[in-house]
């Protein structure tokens, strides 16, 4: 049976120094923040509650003695409010809150500003999908699934990592 799955064009963009806004402070947000930081993004996080990892990464702005594997991030400890995206003016937005209505409001604002947005847990609201990354030496692969199969993406990324790591 033929499905109407989108076939997306993979593109690699230099995000070093570009602003990224992450709304949410849980484990999904942490995974996105770690990836964005590894590629040099200038990250702002908006969330009333965050993991210790995000808290420590935000503190590293003030105290450079804190050991964190991310670039320093700015933390705004409150719920997302309409207008936050316009105020930050990011290159891309990640909506990773635990509230689908808040994620939808984030998506709506980002789309109205023509800013790419990835909405955790709702592929239909995304203008881009956040890939799993497999990286080694001179090679970087980004993996997504056409049908939202997260387990398959994880397995495929692990296989690619083994191949490129020799």
Determine how β-strand 92-95 pairs with β-strand 117-119: parallel
The encoded tokens of residue 130 equal 């956040």
pLDDT range class, residue 3, cuts 50, 70, 90: low
Q: Which residue has the tokens 């003016």?
A: 89
Whether pLDDT at 165 is above 80: yes
Residue 70 confidence (pLDDT) = 42
Determine how β-strand 139-143 pairs with β-strand 132-136: antiparallel
**Average of pLDDT values for 27-51?**
95
| Mean of pLDDT over the chain | 89
Residue 39 confidence (pLDDT) = 92
Residue 150 confidence (pLDDT) = 86
pLDDT range class, residue 64, cuts 50, 70, 90: very low
**Average of pLDDT values for 15-36?**
95
Q: Give the highest mean pLDDT range of 24-28, 71-75, 143-147.
A: 24-28
- 128-to-67, 121, 159 alpha-carbon distances in Å: 32, 13, 23
- 59-to-11, 35, 50, 54, 79 alpha-carbon distances in Å: 33, 19, 12, 9, 19
For 4-13, write each residue's pLDDT tens digit. Answer: 666 788 899 9
What's the count of helices (H) and strands (E) in the chain, helices before strands?
5, 7
> Taking the model in full, what pTM does it have?
0.88
Query: If we measure between CA atoms, which residue out of 63, 6, 8, 70 comes closest to residue 44?
Result: 70
């Amino acid at each position: 049976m033929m499905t109407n799955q989108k076939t997306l064009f993979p593109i690699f963009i230099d995000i070093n120094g570009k602003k990224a806004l992450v709304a949410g402070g849980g484990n999904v947000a942490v995974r996105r923040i770690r990836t964005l930081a590894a590629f040099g993004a200038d990250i702002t996080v908006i969330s009333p509650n965050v993991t210790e990892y995000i808290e420590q990464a935000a503190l590293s702005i003030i105290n450079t003695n804190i050991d964190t594997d991310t670039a320093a991030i700015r933390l705004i400890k409150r719920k997302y409010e309409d207008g936050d995206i316009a105020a930050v003016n990011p290159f891309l937005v990640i909506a990773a809150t635990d509230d689908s209505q808040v994620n939808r409001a984030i998506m709506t604002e980002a789309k109205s500003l023509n800013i790419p947005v990835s909405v955790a847990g709702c592929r239909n609201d995304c203008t881009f999908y956040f890939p799993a990354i497999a990286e080694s030496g001179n090679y970087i692969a980004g993996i997504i699934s056409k049908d939202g199969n997260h387990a398959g993406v994880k397995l495929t990324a692990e296989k690619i990592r083994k191949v490129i790591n020799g």
